[in-house]
Amino acid sequence: MDLEAPFWSLGLRVAGVDEAGRGAWAGPIVVGAVILRPGRYPFRDSKLLRPKERERLAEEVRRVALAHALGVAEVGEVDRLGVLKATLLAAQRALDLLDPPPEALVTDYLQVATSLPLLAPPKADQKSPSVAAASILAKVHRDRLMEELDRLYPGYGFARHKGYGTPEHQRALQALGPSPVHRRRFSPVAQAPLRFPEGE
């Protein structure tokens, strides 16, 4: 049974919330929020989908959702606040944009501050179509942002690894130093030689 089912049975609008980019070494954190009408949906956790399938399903989410929104925490906010608080900030930004507003929330283990009924089990993106839809929107949007950052800061491979820790990314950090869109708090970034001036 979908996690939304108890809320739907009460006639409540349920927003699914999920993030992309929490564990990355570079780039923003993006949080999606999606309200679906009660029903059956083909949405699955974005990490289980190929890029083309994600793009197609993102279009479907935008078409069928009652409401959808994205919230972003920029790199400076991630460094200043830490990953968890920055994720919560991005989630609040996404929720604030939903129209109509939600009456209950389902998140993927994210304890957002809310007076609304909240379900936040682990792996909710595999048990909730709303959370899966939110994960798809967040991942597609963040991937596009990282492709843009790849054009601004060539040499790091952002378009391929999307800012996550890979051997290629590690080698680029050692060769080039961190870019302005790297998260300075993350130890692989903090240990890399500094070649960009601070704050550039």
Average pLDDT over residues 114-123: 96
Whether 48 has a pLDDT exceeding 90, the answer reads no
2 is in an annotated binding site: no
| Coil vs helix vs strand at 60 | helix
**Sequence spans of domains, the chain:** 5-150, 155-190
Rounded CA separation 155/172 (Å):
7
Average pLDDT over residues 14-28: 98
**% of the chain surpassing 70 pLDDT:** 97
185: CB partners within 8 A, 6+ apart: 78, 79, 82
Give me the CATH code for the 5-150 domain, please.
3.30.420.10
Pairing outcome for strands 118-119 and 29-35: unpaired
Inter-residue contact 178 to 196 (CB < 8 Å): yes
Whether 196 has a pLDDT exceeding 80, the answer reads no
- Give the count of beta carbons closer than 10 Å to the beta carbon of residue 165: 16
18 is in an annotated binding site: yes
The confidence band for 199, taking pLDDT boundaries of 50, 70 and 90, is very low
Higher pLDDT: 19 or 190? It is 19
Rounded CA separation 76/183 (Å):
8
Where b means 16+ CB within 10 Å and e means fewer, 127-156 reads bbbbbbbbbbbbbbbbbebbeebbeebeeb
Instruction: Say what the pLDDT of residue 44 is.
Output: 84
Tokens of 55: 């793009």
| Coil vs helix vs strand at 105 | strand
